[in-house]
């Protein structure tokens, strides 16, 4: 076997085809000894890969060929980007490249830095609502620098569900000059549960936010 054939066989062995679900990813902890990462290919969206790195992170990558070169590029991370969102994003990239005949590099320049809204909780039960385009570095910075803070949720921003909209909804509970909010009635946690745990649609979240707004301000 030539070196090229060995590398191809090794890569195919690493890239198992899996119908990716949350339970699988949450329990997927492969041995990365001697490797930077291990991939699985989604059975539903063939161009979608999920990568487990030796640092313990799960990333989403789009798999493609450019000329004779086989490539994959990361465009998001799990669980901040859900399985459903990753599949949708991979198909969007595919449409832009194949149907609109756009260059892969141009498409990835647009898609590789999506913004996330994140939620942290401190020992006092207060909730921090923030935004980041580099959630791994941001979470390390916040949770390491301040004792007693834990991440309780994260989701890709959209026109409906984003930092500005959520800040506006809970402005009554906001601490002065920072992004921390009181949550004595668990209203923020209810929204986080719907957005992150149950991954409700933007339409459902918009209805929920409207109901909460009436309850808080009317």
Domain ranges of the chain: 9-111, 116-217
Q: Enter the tokens of residue 17.
A: 């085809």
What burial class does residue 166 get, using C-beta atoms within 10 Å of its C-beta: 0-12 exposed, 13-18 middle, 19+ buried?
A: buried
User: What does pTM read for this prediction?
Assistant: 0.53
How far apart, in whole angstroms, are the C-alpha atoms of residue 132 and residue 138?
A: 7
114-138 per-position pLDDT tens digit: 688 999 999 999 999 998 877 767 7
Q: What is the CATH class of 9-111?
A: alpha beta
Would you call the peptide bond into 116 cis, given omega within 30 degrees of 0 as the criterion?
Answer: no
pLDDT at 214 over 60: yes
The arithmetic mean of pLDDT across residues 103-113, rounded, is: 62
The arithmetic mean of pLDDT across residues 58-83, rounded, is: 83
Q: Give the pLDDT confidence score for residue 75 in this predicted structure.
A: 82
Q: Give the pLDDT confidence score for residue 9 in this predicted structure.
A: 44
Q: Give the pLDDT confidence score for residue 8 in this predicted structure.
A: 46
Q: Give the pLDDT confidence score for residue 6 in this predicted structure.
A: 40
pLDDT at 189 over 50: yes
């Amino acid at each position: 076997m030539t070196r090229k054939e060995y590398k191809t066989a090794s890569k195919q062995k690493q890239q198992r085809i899996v119908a990716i679900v949350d339970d699988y990813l949450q329990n997927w902890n492969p041995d990365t000894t001697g490797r930077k990462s291990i991939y699985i290919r989604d059975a539903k969206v063939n161009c979608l890969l999920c990568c487990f790195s030796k640092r313990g992170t799960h990333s989403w990558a789009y798999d493609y060929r450019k000329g004779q070169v086989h490539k994959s590029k990361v465009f998001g991370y799990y669980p901040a980007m859900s399985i459903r969102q990753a599949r949708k994003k991979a198909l969007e990239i595919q449409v832009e490249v194949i149907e609109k005949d756009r260059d892969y590099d141009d498409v990835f320049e647009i898609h590789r830095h999506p913004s996330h809204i994140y939620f942290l909780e401190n020992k006092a039960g207060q909730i921090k609502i923030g935004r980041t385009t580099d959630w791994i570095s941001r979470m390390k910075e916040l949770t390491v620098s301040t004792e007693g803070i834990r991440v309780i949720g994260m989701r890709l921003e959209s026109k409906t569900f984003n930092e500005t909209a959520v800040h506006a909804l809970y402005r009554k509970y906001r601490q002065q000059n920072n992004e921390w909010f009181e949550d004595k009635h668990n209203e923020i946690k209810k929204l986080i549960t719907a957005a992150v745990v149950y991954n409700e649609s933007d339409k459902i979240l918009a209805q929920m936010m409207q109901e909460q707004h009436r309850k808080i301000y009317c």
